Each structure stands twice: as structure tokens, then as C-alpha cells.
Amino acid sequence: MASVETWVGFGSALAGVGLLWSRMPEHVHDEARYIISSLVPMAMSYFNPYEQITVSEYGEERFRRNKMFDAVSTYLSRVCTGGACKLKAELCNNGRDDPIVTLDENQEVVDSFDGARMWWRLCPKASKNKGAITVTYYPGEADKPRCFKLVFHKRHRQLVLNSYLPSVVRRWRELTAMNRQRRLFTNHANEAKKSVWTSVPYNPPATFDMLAMDHAKKVEIVDDLTTFQKGKEYHSKVGKAWKRGYLLHGPPGTGKSTMIGAMANFLDYDVYDLDLTSVKNNSELRKLFLDTTDKSIIVIEDIDAIEVELTTKRKGKKAANGDEIHDKRMLIEFSDKNDEKSKVTLSGLLSFVDGLWSACGSERIFMFTTNHIDRLDPALIRPGRMDKHIEMSYCRFEAFKVLAKSYLDITEHSLFAEIERLLDDTDTTPADVANNLMLRSKRNGEISRLLDEIDGAPRADVAKWCKRKRDTDECLAGFVEILKKSKMESATTPMDSMEEAKEERPNAKESYKMGRIYDENCRLGNAS
């Protein structure tokens, strides 16, 4: 009976509040609604005993990837997938047969730490404003990136912040050190037209031992790299960013790319091969640089071709005033410059090499390669800009001996003296020499005959057998003939016409570069 009275009293009180509400002026309604809406979450959080931490894939400013996200992802996939029923498996191209298994989106897993329970969930990418039209500076910015949500009891807040999360990061570092796979990254435009890195496992076969070049120069480079790698304290003592810049220059086929592979092997660093043609502007370039990791080599190949593009922008005014433009590639690029779509500038690039931004990150090596050092902007080659200029040159006898050892497994031969003389008289690249010391195409028929003869034997055995059978004398004699021919040709071709021919006929690589620039212009709608 008493309870019925209570309900009746409660009903009349509600009716009274309703009447009061309807009599109140409109602005009081708004005020009251505001107070209620701010009180509700407070009341809810008072009664809710759980707290939540979000670990987003990208930082708030969407500028760089959140390493904590990677740490949590690796940690959970190694430690907590036991109780999960929705997983994702991926086979990495690293030669291993065991797939990498990670949590699928919206799958919740439970971890325990020091007696406390932690609930983790991977939330998918979501649109910030469903149905609404959002105008953003960057395409794709309207999306909320993927994130991990960690839920735990309020009383474990200090434990989570001071012990649990640091232990997740520590475990992540241990796991990545244990399963480290060197990677080769390259940038390309994603579906949102932003340049992003993608990577593949990277195990270059090149080492310094097989690199054909002047021995003293090789030792100097190896010493330089060793000093750099051990230079953490030295760099912080002298207040210098822990980075080093190399400019590799020399004709095509002299081993510049091979040298990068050898350096990556020697230092055990990742390689970032930066393709400037797919970077829209300086801010995109900055984001790419910030997304690189420590202990890495950042490579810009053929800087002369790209640099034409960059310097044209700087020299654009001069050219617009009517100066003659001699370089064909410059003309192609010039049309691009005028519409201001591409705004990567040389100064933007250099700010990472030795400018303000170079201090972001440590233990990084910048490598620029070029076939034409004489075509580079003086700003790029001025003293102190790149720490070391390394010239990769034509193959002389010392370098030849390295190749003979690698390809033919010999250190002495009666033809060596003649080869030494001929190499001094001709400009033969190590790539040409290597090519001539390999099983040449005219022997392909011979190989297939041998394969037929020993039908059924395992391929590896056949290959070994063929290699043993290879006639070193014949190979070297053939090489001597090629060198003699090339010496005769260079003696009969007047120097001037050789230079002209070089200028007029771009080699395959230059055509490729021109094609790449042309394609880029087509993409931007500038091709004429």
C-alpha cells in the first residue's frame, strides 16, 4: 500500500516538473538541456567502472604513423591470439612458409597483467561524418583511421600507464629484433592519391667482397661506414644529427646500385628508394621522410634526371625570359613547372639532408646517385652538403681480378697480363666485364644439349655440373677479343663524333627516365 502511494507521489511530482517545464521560457530550456547533456557523461563515468585508451594507426595530425599501433598489433598477434576466433593470415614474401597471423577487425581479446584483465579490440577505419559532405585538404582525411581500443578497470589505471603499456612496447622491440627482416621500401600514390611507402623483403646478393673497385677506396668506404655506425656518442657530443650523406657518381654499369645493396648488407639497414616523380609537393615529401625508420638508407637514384626538374623550377624565370634551353628533358619538365601542380623543390629536399628536418630521426644514410655529376645543381654538390663523394669508375685490372674471382673462381691466368693492358686502354664498365665472364648466350644451345643428356638429374646438380664444365680459357680468350675490338673501335672513332653520338642517342636508361617524366606529365595533363 505504501509503495502505491510512493508511485502516486512520484507521478504527481513528474507531472509538476512537466508543467513547470512547459511554462519556462525557451532560453531556459536550452540552458537546462546543456546542463543535462554535460551531467549525463559525468554521471555515467561515475557509475562506469571501466576506462578506455585508444591507440590510433596515425597520430592526431595524421602526419606520421603511430608506432604504438604497430607495437600493439605485433604484441597482440604474438601473445594474445589464443582466445580469438577471427584472425587474419598473411604470407610474407620472406622465404618462410609460416604465415603471419594477426587479429581481425572487431575481434576482442583478453590479456592479463599482474592480476589485472585488459580487453583489446581492433576497430576498423570509419567515416567521421557518415552521409555528410566533408571538405578536407588531404583526400581521405574524412576517415577515422583504424585503432586499437584498450578497456580496463579504473583501479588499474596507474598499472596500465606505468607498467603494462611500457611492457607491451618492450615486448614489441624484442619480437621485432628476433624476427627482423631487412626491407626495401618504395613510395607510390595510394587510392587517396597520397604518396605512401610499401615494402618487400630485401636480401641483396651484393657484398663489399664482390664489389669490383679500387681496393683502397673500398677499405675507406667500409671504415667510414663502421665509424658512422658506432658514432652515436660522437654525434651527440658534437651536437650533430646522426646521419651521413653519400653522392655516388659514375657512368652506367659501374656498380652504384650494387654499392647500395652492399652497404645495406654491411650495416643491416632497411632501404627506402624514394621516387620523387610520385611525390606531389614538399609537405608530402616531409611526410614520407618522417615515415622512414631509423637505421635506414634513403636513396634517390639518378638525381641528375630529377634534379633537372627541381632546378628548372628554380631557374624557371630565367628560362621564361627567353634563355635557350639546351636540355630536352628540361623542356619536357618546363611545361610541368608552369602549372605549379608539382611543388617538390630542391630546397625542400635538402632540408632533410642537412636542414632543419635532418635532426628528425637518427642513424640514417642519404644516398644520391648520378651518371652526370657535372649536371647537378651547385647547391647539391657544394662542400659539406654530402659528406662523401664516391666516384665509381671503369673497370681496371684490380677490379677485374675481383670479378674474375667471383665469376670464374680464378686468381691467376696466362691471359691476365694482356687483359690488364687492354683494360687500361679501353673504358669498359664492370657490368660489361661481369657480363662477359658469365655463361654467354651463344652457349645456351650447349646448356640445353647438356640438360637433355643428363635428363632426370636435379636442376641444382645440372647447374653445378655446367659451371664446372665451363671453359675458363675460352671465356677469357673471348673477352680478350671483345676488348681488342672495342679498343680498335675507339681508336677509329673521332672523339667529337663519339660525344655527339652520346648526346643525340640517349641510352636505354635515359630514355626510360625521359619516359618516366613524360608519363608523369601525362598524368598531370601537361603532355604536349
Binding site partner of 74, from Mg ion, ligand ATP, none, Cβ cut-off 5-8 A by kind: none
Binding site partner of 264, from ligand ATP, Mg ion, none, Cβ cut-off 5-8 A by kind: none
CB of 163 to Mg ion, least distance (A): 49
Distant-in-sequence, close-in-space partners of 367: CB < 8 Å, separation ≥ 6: 245, 246, 247, 248, 260, 263, 297, 298, 299, 300
| Residue that is written with C-alpha cell 611492457 in the block | 167
Distant-in-sequence, close-in-space partners of 522: CB < 8 Å, separation ≥ 6: none
What value, to the nearest 5°, has the Cα angle with vertex 512 and ends 507 and 517?
A: 130
Distance CA 200, CA 485 (A): 42
CB of 460 to ligand ATP, least distance (A): 21
Helix (H) or strand (E) holding 247: strand 243-249
For 390-525, where are the alpha helices, taking DSSP H only?
397-408, 416-425, 430-437, 444-453, 459-469, 472-492, 495-504, 508-524
Helix (H) or strand (E) holding 284: helix 282-290
CB of 270 to ligand ATP, least distance (A): 19
**The one-letter amino acid at 503:** E
Enter the DSSP assignment of 124.
P
Which one, 194 or 329, has the nearer CB to ligand ATP? 329
Cα–Cα separations (whole angstroms), residue 76 to 51, 153, 242, 293, 313: 19, 19, 33, 22, 48
Binding site partner of 300, from Mg ion, ligand ATP, none, Cβ cut-off 5-8 A by kind: none
Which one, 316 or 506, has the nearer CB to ligand ATP? 506
CB of 206 to ligand ATP, least distance (A): 7
Which one, 194 or 513, has the nearer CB to ligand ATP? 513
CB of 302 to Mg ion, least distance (A): 7
Helix (H) or strand (E) holding 175: helix 165-178
E strand intervals along 279-331: 296-300
What value, to the nearest 5°, has the Cα angle with vertex 482 and ends 476 and 486?
A: 145
CB of 215 to ligand ATP, least distance (A): 12
E strand intervals along 156-222: 183-189, 195-201
Binding site partner of 464, from Mg ion, ligand ATP, none, Cβ cut-off 5-8 A by kind: none
CB 369 within 8 A of CB 256: yes
CB of 330 to Mg ion, least distance (A): 22
Nearest to 308 by CA among 506, 81, 514: 514
CB 254 within 8 A of CB 429: yes
Which one, 168 or 402, has the nearer CB to ligand ATP? 402
Binding site partner of 212, from ligand ATP, Mg ion, none, Cβ cut-off 5-8 A by kind: ligand ATP
Which one, 194 or 256, has the nearer CB to Mg ion? 256
Phi, psi of 296 (to 5 degrees): -145, 160
Binding site partner of 254, from Mg ion, ligand ATP, none, Cβ cut-off 5-8 A by kind: ligand ATP
Which one, 140 or 204, has the nearer CB to ligand ATP? 204
CB of 466 to Mg ion, least distance (A): 29
**The one-letter amino acid at 337:** K
Q: Which of 102, 187, 257, 342 forms a contact with Mg ion (CB under 5 A)? A: 257
Which one, 160 or 392, has the nearer CB to ligand ATP? 392
CB of 388 to ligand ATP, least distance (A): 17
Which one, 257 or 426, has the nearer CB to Mg ion? 257
Which one, 256 or 287, has the nearer CB to Mg ion? 256
Q: Which stretch binds Mg ion (CB under 5 A): 13-21, 138-146, 251-259, 317-325?
A: 251-259
Binding site partner of 361, from Mg ion, ligand ATP, none, Cβ cut-off 5-8 A by kind: none
Residue nearest to ligand ATP according to CB distances in the complex: 255
Distance CA 280, CA 239 (A): 33
CB 81 within 8 A of CB 109: yes
Distance CA 331, CA 325 (A): 7
Binding site partner of 253, from ligand ATP, Mg ion, none, Cβ cut-off 5-8 A by kind: ligand ATP
Compute the Cα dihedral for 65, 197, 80, 103 and give only its sign. positive
Where does this chain bind ligand ATP (CB under 6 A)?
Answer: 210-213, 252-258, 371, 392, 430-431, 434, 509
Site string for Mg ion, 209-248 (x = CB under 5 A): ----------------------------------------
Residue nearest to Mg ion according to CB distances in the complex: 257
Enter the C-alpha cell of residue 27: 532560453
CB of 432 to ligand ATP, least distance (A): 8
The answer to whether residue 77 forms part of the interface with Mg ion (CB under 5 A) is no
Which one, 210 or 482, has the nearer CB to ligand ATP? 210
CB of 509 to ligand ATP, least distance (A): 5
Which one, 249 or 256, has the nearer CB to Mg ion? 256
Q: Which residues pair with 144 in a beta bridge?
A: 126
CB of 479 to ligand ATP, least distance (A): 15
Which one, 253 or 348, has the nearer CB to ligand ATP? 253
Distance CA 297, CA 443 (A): 39
CB 189 within 8 A of CB 195: yes
Q: Which residues of the shown chain bind Mg ion in the complex (CB under 5 A)? A: 256-257
